[in-house]
Every structure is written in structure tokens, then in C-alpha cells.
A = this chain, B = another copy of it.
Amino acid sequence: MKKIDVQKPEGKLGVLIVGVGGAVASTFVVGTLATRKGLTTPIGSITQLSTIKLEDGGEATAPKIKDVLPIAKLDDIVFGGWDIFEENVYEGATHAKVLEQKDLEGVKDELKAIKPMKAAFINDYVTRLHGTWTKVAPTKWDLMLQIKEDIATFKKANNCSRIVVIWSASTEVYVPMTETHMSLASLQKAMKENSPEIAPSMLYAYAAIDSGVPFINGAPALTVDMPAMWDLAEQNQVPVCGKDYKTGQTLLKTVLSPMLHTRMLGLRGWFSTNILGNRDGEVLDDPASFKTKEVSKLSVLDTILKPSEYPELYGNIYHKVRINYYPPRGDNKEGWDNLDIVGWMGYPMQIKVDFLCRDSILAAPLLLDLVLLADLSKRCGFSGIQHWLSFYFKSPMHELDKQPVHDIFAQNVMLRNKMREIIGVDYRSNID
């Protein structure tokens, strides 16, 4: 094993969030600030809570990850970002109604101080929202340049040694991958020509990477998931990862389908429906935005179940995913799944799962882990797609000729073995 030479996490780490005033982002910011004040526990965060088994010649130990992996300290984080509304993060969190008011009070001043920069927003890509705090520029290329400037300004103003950019804004309409996204040259040309194939999220990704800053894509859009961006990332020695935080229904799907596969139980149908009332639900009520999400959600089963290898078990699966905007529930999403499974001699059985979850509560710890691990990747000298972070995503990025790993337990092993490699311990566990 080649030793990885990790740069120490010295100085401030600027965390710039696209959609910083939204439900997910504000929940992440509140919880992180409250954690560092000792007011709460960052439940759901692997980096903050979990242990890791290590065994180096001698005896096995299981220290906390945060004590052995050289990630940034929460105290060193400085939050900032962009939003299409001018509200500060305190106002954003209040409107999002994810957290109870009493849970905001302890960090009220810090939240009020986080004021969004103007967003690069184009209504055609998120038709249900109407931004009022947005940049103006003649071309998309110019918008991108403004974002680069924002990053540089923030870094200097806040005396940061490193920056990470994370996308936590709404799902854009479906933009399929075309020739435009294949090379850096064609991508740049399209940006300058205001091509419809350039969605705003791509501008943030380009700006970040071109600034040498890691970029994390929490939504299902193309954004950074294209050869042109991967080339740019390699050129700039920048790690990127995505896409679409693995929460709720897909989380369960990547848990239950491995069970079926491991036990060689057949599957005839999987019906998934969601009701949710937050801005995400509103945006996904637009069929074009839903298309983006649907593509992200559907691929999961095939790669886990391998129908081509097991045609008698998985050769004829009817898989349907529905998302329904349902205002009475607010941010409290509910996912209802029905699985029609098949056992011994072809006898049918059913599993139904009702998940009364909270979108932002499930997502927030993923953001915390991802900004810390993306920053760590950069300091490790990693660049391009970070496959080891697949654990966090519904639709892990992968080279065009490869298959992603969706099984959450397999992803977990990948994540932890890479952590061990960074820590410098030559032990690969297969049971984490």
C-alpha cells in the first residue's frame, strides 16, 4: 500500500452552499453551529459519531473517526453561499419550518450573519420558483465568472485557507447529456453562446473547479456529471462528487434490495410513492424536474439485483416511482413502498414500508460529512470523481463505461476502506 501524503487541515474552511437559505442547507448550518456550541448531537454524521475498526499488526481498536481521520474541525468552518431570495439563514430556517423555533435560538446571531450572495438563476430550469435575488449578465459564461469572483472574495474576506462548494438547491429540469458536455471546449463554447444545454448548476460547478475548489452535487441534475467537467477536475486537481443525497425512499431501497438479492428472493414489482409539501415537492411537481429525479431513482434496482445474471428472479420487474406535492405535510415527507416479492416455488409475498421521514433532517448530516470529506480528498491529492463517497448518493457518479455501486453496505465498505487507507492502516475490513 502506497502511503497517502495528507496535507494538514490548517486554517479556516469556507463552506459555500448553493441554496444556503433553503430547508436542507439551513438545517445543516443550524445543526453544525449548534453542535460546535455543544447544544446538540449531529446524529446521522459518520465523521462525527462513528467509530472505525483498525488493526495494524497488533490488536484491533475502534476509535472515533474524527479522532483518527485528518478532517477539518467544526470550529474551523465558515459558512456562506448563494440563494435566490435575500433572506439570511435565520430567516430561511424560520420559513423552512423544519426545525422548531427553540432550536434556532441558540445560534440565532450566527445565523443572521450568514447573508446569501446573489444566485445565478434562470427560471426556465426551475419553473416553479421565482427568484428575486439573482445575478444579471450577458452570457452564462459571464455568470460563471461572477461566481468565481464570489468564491475568491469570500475566501479572502473570511481568511479561509480552503473552500468547498456544495449544491443544495432545487432540482433543475431534465437536461440530457449530449456532445456539448463531452469536451471542455464544447462546454465553454456553449456557455459563451448561452446554449440551453447549460443549466445554472453547471456554472457553479465550473466556477468552483476552475477555482481549484471541490464541488459536491446534492441534486440529481447533470451539473458536474459529464466528461467535460471531469477533465476540468483532473486538470485542476480537484475532487468532485455526487449526485443526489441518498435519503428517504432510496435509502431504504438500497437496503431492501440487497436483502432480496442476498437471499435469492425474486422481485416482480416495486411501487414507490412519496408525499411531500416543501419547496422540493413543489419543484418536482413540474414534470420536467421530476424527470431528472426519476432517472436518478430508477437505476438503483438494476445495478443491485443484476437481472441479466438472474433472469428468473429479476428479469421482469415493474418499477414505478411517484412523487406527489402534498402541502399539508410540509417538510415531513412520507414514502410508501410496496414490493411484490417471490419465494420458494414461485409463491408471492408482499412487503410494504411506510417511512415517515423528514427530508432535511436526513440530508443535513450528509452535507456535513461531504464537505469535510471533499476537503479531505483535496488535501489527499485526490481528483476527479470520488467513488468512495458513493455511500452518500442516490445516483453515484461513475465513468461512462462503468457501473455505480448502489448497495449501501457495499458502499459502506468502500467508504471505510478508503478512510483506513488515508489513516495509513493496512487493514481492509469486509464487515463494518
**Which 4 A-B residue pairs are closest in the complex by CB-CB distance?**
A430-B430, A269-B328, A410-B431, A409-B409
Please determine whether A44 and B271 come into contact, CB atoms closer than 8 angstroms. Answer: no
**Complex Cα–Cα for A412 and B103 (A):** 42
Q: Which of A249-279 contact B (CB under 8 A)?
A: 251-252, 255-256, 258-259, 262-266, 268-269, 271, 273, 275
Q: How far is the CB of A74 from chain B (nearest CB, A)?
A: 14
What residue in chain B is nearest A64 (Cβ atoms)? B309
Answer whether residue A361 sits at the interface, using C-beta atoms and an 8 A cutoff.
Answer: yes
Q: A43-B344, A324-B320 are in contact. Are A431 and B408 (CB under 8 A)?
A: no
Query: Which chain B positions have C-beta within 8 A of A31?
Result: 344-345
Q: How far is the CB of A209 from chain B (nearest CB, A)?
A: 29
Please determine whether B361 and A344 come into contact, CB atoms closer than 8 angstroms. Answer: yes
Answer whether residue A340 sits at the interface, using C-beta atoms and an 8 A cutoff.
Answer: yes
Stretch at the interface among A132-140, A196-204, A213-221, A349-357: A349-357
Answer whether residue A362 sits at the interface, using C-beta atoms and an 8 A cutoff.
Answer: yes
Task: Annotate A307-338 by CB proximity to B: 1 below 8 A, 0 otherwise.
Answer: 00110110000101010101111000010101
Please determine whether B265 and A44 come into contact, CB atoms closer than 8 angstroms. Answer: yes
Task: Annotate A351-369 by CB proximity to B: 1 below 8 A, 0 otherwise.
Answer: 1111111101110110000
Please determine whether B34 and A271 come into contact, CB atoms closer than 8 angstroms. Answer: no
Partner of A355, one of B344, B351, B356: B351
Query: Which chain B positions have C-beta within 8 A of A309?
Result: 51, 62
Query: Which chain B positions have C-beta within 8 A of A432?
Result: 262
What residue in chain B is nearest A98 (Cβ atoms)? B347
Please determine whether B43 and A343 come into contact, CB atoms closer than 8 angstroms. Answer: yes
| Supplied contacts A255-B259, A336-B338, 20 more A-B pairs, CB within 8 Å | A27-B345, A31-B345, A43-B342, A43-B344, A46-B263, A51-B309, A251-B263, A255-B256, A255-B258, A269-B326, A322-B322, A329-B340, A334-B338, A343-B365, A344-B365, A347-B358, A352-B355, A352-B356, A413-B431, A430-B431
Query: Which chain B positions have C-beta within 8 A of A266?
Result: 43
Max chain B C-beta neighbours (<10 A), residue from A44, A310, A327, A346: A44
Query: Which chain B positions have C-beta within 8 A of A340?
Result: 328-329
What residue in chain B is nearest A414 (Cβ atoms)? B431
Q: List 19 A-B contacts (CB under 8 A).
A: A31-B345, A43-B266, A43-B312, A99-B345, A103-B345, A251-B263, A255-B258, A262-B432, A268-B328, A269-B327, A271-B275, A273-B322, A320-B326, A329-B340, A343-B358, A347-B358, A354-B354, A413-B431, A414-B431
Please determine whether A40 and B352 come into contact, CB atoms closer than 8 angstroms. Answer: no
Answer whether residue A303 sits at the interface, using C-beta atoms and an 8 A cutoff.
Answer: no
Answer whether residue A375 sits at the interface, using C-beta atoms and an 8 A cutoff.
Answer: no
Q: How far is the CB of A190 from chain B (nearest CB, A)?
A: 34
Please determine whether A49 and B313 come into contact, CB atoms closer than 8 angstroms. Answer: yes
